[in-house]
Amino acid sequence: MQFADLKIVLSRKAVWPAAVMSFLAAGLFVFIELAEEIMEGEALDFDEALLLAFRNPADLGDPLGPPWLEETALELTALGGYPVIVVLTLAVAGYLGVAAWRGAALYVLASVAGGSALSALLKRFFERPRPDIVEQLDVIHTASFPSGHAMVGTVTYLTLGALLVRYAKTRAEMIYVVFTAGVITVLVGLTRVYLGVHWPSDVVAGWAMGLSWAAFVWCVVAVIEYRAQISAIGSRASGYLIGRGKVEP
């Protein structure tokens, strides 16, 4: 056993990556700022303006663009819906379990399930009404704040992206994974506004809290892995010293 191993672990694993912690903090800050405005019952200036920007001024029931764009938005928004999220999560977790990567499977399940539960609780707490100034072009069943599609979609795709990044061999692969996960989450959120089922602030809050939750779970897993590695190195160090006769077995 080389004590250089301990140095590597301490330098890379002992402190959570600054980027992840900054994402967690920034997401919480944005969510709290928006939540305070919602709780005070204040209308956000950009909400109505952005919502109307996606509609034909002569007919607010008609979103901008050709008919195929509306159909595309309905299909893309399903990427953040529970049916797709549940199927995708179970499929990935099932594969990880079969491949004997049970820790990774538990990570995915805990992150997505926890994020979904948190989204539901937040909706119940705020009970913000859905937009009523434009026609809603998708079926809705819950309150508006935060956007469940935006939040749960962000948690799911960032969690899967974080998992894939760990196995990326080049920087290009890492950038591709992060970029793809980001694009999907942004598209899902934009479709919610385009379809008139969410205020823009709902979506921003969903992105923010989804980012914070995904970062939080990643940090918890990182701490668990770090402690396990330190424990393993400690055991190897004890065996090394015992073998050299420097400590009593």
Residue 77's pLDDT is: 95
Residue ranges in the chain modelled with pLDDT below 50: 1-15, 234, 237, 240-241, 247-249
**Gap between the Cα atoms of 63 and 44, Å rounded:** 21
**Gap between the Cα atoms of 51 and 76, Å rounded:** 18
Q: Could you read off the pLDDT of 41-82 as tens digits, one per residue?
A: 766 778 989 999 999 888 888 899 999 999 999 999 999 999
Domain carrying residue 45: 28-229
pTM: 0.83
* Residue 20 forms part of a structural domain: no
Q: Could you read off the pLDDT of 139-161 as tens digits, one per residue?
A: 888 889 999 999 999 999 999 99
Residue 142's pLDDT is: 87
* Residue 63 forms part of a structural domain: yes
* Residue 120 forms part of a structural domain: yes
Report the catalytic residues. 149, 198
Residue 195's pLDDT is: 94
* Residue 7 forms part of a structural domain: no
Residue 2's pLDDT is: 43
Domain count, the chain: 1
Q: What is the DSSP letter of 81?
A: S
Residue 17's pLDDT is: 63
* Residue 21 forms part of a structural domain: no
DSSP symbols for 44-75 = PHHHHHHHHHTEETTEEEEESS-HHHHHHHHH
* Residue 8 forms part of a structural domain: no
Residue 13's pLDDT is: 46
Question: Residue 40 in contact with residue 218, Cβ under 8 Å?
Answer: no
